[in-house]
Amino acid sequence: MPDTTNGYVRHEIEHGVATIEFYHPASNSLPAIILSQLAEAVQTVGQDERAKVIVLRSAGSGAFCAGASFDELIAISNESEGKKFFLGFAHVINAIRKANKFVIGRIHGKAVGGGVGLASACDYTFATDSAAIKLSELAVGIGPFVVGPAVERKLGTSCFSQLAIDATGWRSAEWAKNHGLYADIYKSESELDDAIHQLASKLANSNPEAMALLKGVFWQGTEAWDTLLDERAGMSGKLVLSAFTRNAIESFKSKK
């Protein structure tokens, strides 16, 4: 059995459906290595002709994704390191955006910060009714700068601002569904998986060229995101060095 102490990213392709799964023992948080492997996995299966559609999921039955790794945030010592870390989120979002295949998100539990960004970047997202969301960045003195464009694109400016400003407040899965983040929500993971299987199977038998063109239509207007998300990563990379942020992160860690 492989060592999962530090987490992993795995992918497989079966019957035209590529499944990318990530895991980290700290509530599926996202350290730099996981972010890098996620971006690479999306790029790899995005270029594989055997894959017609991509399913993005995390492992376990707890949180879908707890967002950025606090251990890595507190270890950042300069702006260059900070920007490099937050670019990890940018690379995953841009990999999903550029993949010429639909990405279905499987959100089985709570999503925080970068986890909300991942869910928002997916083209079609299913969730359980326990998959509440929160953009917690402002609570630690940063702000959802890198994931913001993906969240705003999916939910609209009003809902994005509500999430960003009320950084300690959870929004229910029902709220997320009503505002366009989730296509549908289910009471159990088995029901969730059945719905994903049905849609993924249909897409695996659809015209790849038509789907690629349709995805391009959906993402029209985001052509400048390479530059935009690079700039946003710089904002977060600078703020993470502030005394406010360091104290806030240490406070959050001490409560765990």
Domain contains 34: yes
Number of domains in the chain: 1
pLDDT confidence of residue 143:
96
Read off the pLDDT band of 1 (50, 70, 90).
very low
Concatenated DSSP letters for 69-112?
Answer: -HHHHHH--SHHHHHHHHHHHHHHHHHHHH-SS-EEEEE-S-EE
Per-residue pLDDT reduced to its tens digit, 24-44: 999 999 999 999 999 999 999
pLDDT confidence of residue 172:
98
CATH code for the domain in which residue 13 is found = 3.90.226.10
Residues 6+ apart with CB under 8 A from 130: 108, 109, 110, 173
Q: Please determine, for residue 90, whether its predicted confidence score (pLDDT) is greater than 90.
A: yes
Domain contains 243: no
Domain contains 31: yes
Domain contains 161: yes
Read off the pLDDT band of 5 (50, 70, 90).
confident
Per-residue pLDDT reduced to its tens digit, 52-75: 999 999 999 999 999 999 999 999
H-assigned helices in 157-242: 157-165, 173-178, 189-204, 208-218, 225-239
pLDDT confidence of residue 4:
66
pLDDT confidence of residue 251:
83
Mean pLDDT of 213-236: 98
Read off the pLDDT band of 218 (50, 70, 90).
very high
Mean pLDDT of 224-231: 98
Residues 6+ apart with CB under 8 A from 46: 54, 95, 98, 99, 100, 101
- The residue segments making up the domain with residue 59 are 8-204
Share of the chain above pLDDT 70, in %: 97
pLDDT confidence of residue 22:
98
List the one residue out of 64, 80, 229, 61 whose CA is nearest residue 133. Answer: 64
| pTM score, whole prediction | 0.95
pLDDT confidence of residue 2:
44
Domain contains 134: yes
Domain contains 224: no
Domain contains 88: yes
Q: Please determine, for residue 119, whether its predicted confidence score (pLDDT) is greater than 60.
A: yes
Q: Please determine, for residue 256, whether its predicted confidence score (pLDDT) is greater than 60.
A: no
Domain contains 3: no
